[in-house]
Copies of this chain bind each other. A is one copy, B any other.
Amino acid sequence: MRDVALRAGVSIKTVSNYFADYPHMRPETRARVADAVAALDYRINASARSLRAGRSDMIALIVPELDQAYFAELAQEVIDAAEPFGLTVLVETTAGDRQREIDALSGARRQRIDGAIFDPLALGPSDVEHVRTGFPLVIIGERQFDGLADHVLIADLEVARVAMSHLIETGRRRVLMLGGSGHSPSHTAALRRRGCEIALADAGLPFDERYVSAALPWHRRAGAEAVERALADGLEFDAVLGFNDALALGAQWALIEHGLDVPRDIAVVGIDDTQEGRYATPSLTTMSPGRAQIARRSVELLVDRIASPERAFVSVVADFELIRRRSSGRQDHETPLTTPNERPDR
């Protein structure tokens, strides 16, 4: 950190603030530190640090499952982000099971790792004692432990609002919402549903409970089944908003199976920007939650927390972006697509 501070012409405290994503930093200062970090290819001397502190140089990433593309891609991003710090990532899965989430944070596990990045699904407000242990912990995507740990948040409400507004702006009026049950225990689902409500209200459109499906778990199959039920029930809809890409891709598959044209008959939009959606036919319009940024910030916050156990907890909200692809093209086939369908990155 000293080298970075010297090169950037700032204090060591400022460099520390940079890694902690401290909000009150002038953009020029932030840019100077970023340049210095890049120039020095900043790499914490792992072995020296281990000797100094008896650390394992291992951190855990705790996610519900790896065979969902979102979590697999997040895991790879976290592994890549941890590598420059000399940290090995132990990836653990919980299947969204409360006891397994608690076990993953247990004292026995904590003895073997320096800290953990945790994407919880089942833990609720009554589980505060498992989170507030003093052990270095960064929580991704769940707000209910605000103030008890460092957080990297997805702007769930805004993400869903923008996705729904995109559908409304491209002429859709009756949007099937997959994953938004009011009874879901997940804050994410409730926030995304609320974002949809806001977008509909802003456009003067009604929110109709029949258009919301729990679609649990958020896998392709649940998306396909929800669409099949809606078609069987004779529900009229001109778009599907999946609360993740897997639901949207399952829905798209079922629509095409039933002889419907996507996007001419029904538009489909997802949330996550998984690689699969880029190569789907038609390619999937989706909200990119800034997964690389989430991974990088999570690792940086954790590294900083391990070094400075006493600093105040911070919450970072990741940027997001609407990725327009073919699945939400206009119904009017004469109108060209807003963006060409260029070959995706990989």
Residues of A within 8 A of B (CB): 56, 58, 65-67, 69, 72-73, 75-76, 79, 88-93, 109, 112, 219-221, 224-225, 228, 249-250, 252-254, 256-257, 275-276, 278-281, 283, 341, 343-346
Contact = CB atoms under 8 A, between A and B. Distances in A.
A242 to B, nearest CB: 12
Contacts of A278: 220
Contacts of A58: 90, 112
Given A253-B281, A280-B280, 11 more contacts: A65-B76, A66-B73, A67-B72, A67-B275, A79-B93, A89-B91, A219-B346, A220-B279, A220-B344, A224-B343, A249-B279
Contacts of A92: 79, 88-89
Contact of A256 (B65, B221, B250, B281): B281
B93 A90 contact: no
Instruction: Report the copy number of this chain in the oligomer.
Output: 2
Contacts of A91: 66, 75, 89-91
Contacts of A252: 281
A340 to B, nearest CB: 10
Given A69-B72, A91-B75, A343-B221, A56 B281 contact: no
Contacts of A344: 220-221
B221 A250 contact: no
A66 B79 contact: yes
A291 to B, nearest CB: 10
A253 B275 CA distance: 13
Contacts of A275: 67, 220
A88 B90 CA distance: 9
Contact of A73 (B67, B75, B276, B345): B67
Contacts of A250: 279
Nearest to A343: B224
A93 B65 CA distance: 17
A249 B249 CA distance: 15
Contacts of A253: 279, 281, 283
Contacts of A276: 69, 276
Counting chain B CB atoms within 10 Å of each CB, the highest count among A112, A254, A281, A341 belongs to A281
A267 B195 CA distance: 42
A75 B249 CA distance: 22
A224 B225 CA distance: 31
A184 B66 CA distance: 29
B345 A221 contact: yes
Nearest to A71: B72
B56 A66 contact: no
A294 B36 CA distance: 46
Contacts of A73: 66-67
Nearest to A94: B79
Contacts of A224: 279, 343
Contacts of A93: 76, 79
Counting chain B CB atoms within 10 Å of each CB, the highest count among A66, A72, A90, A249 belongs to A66
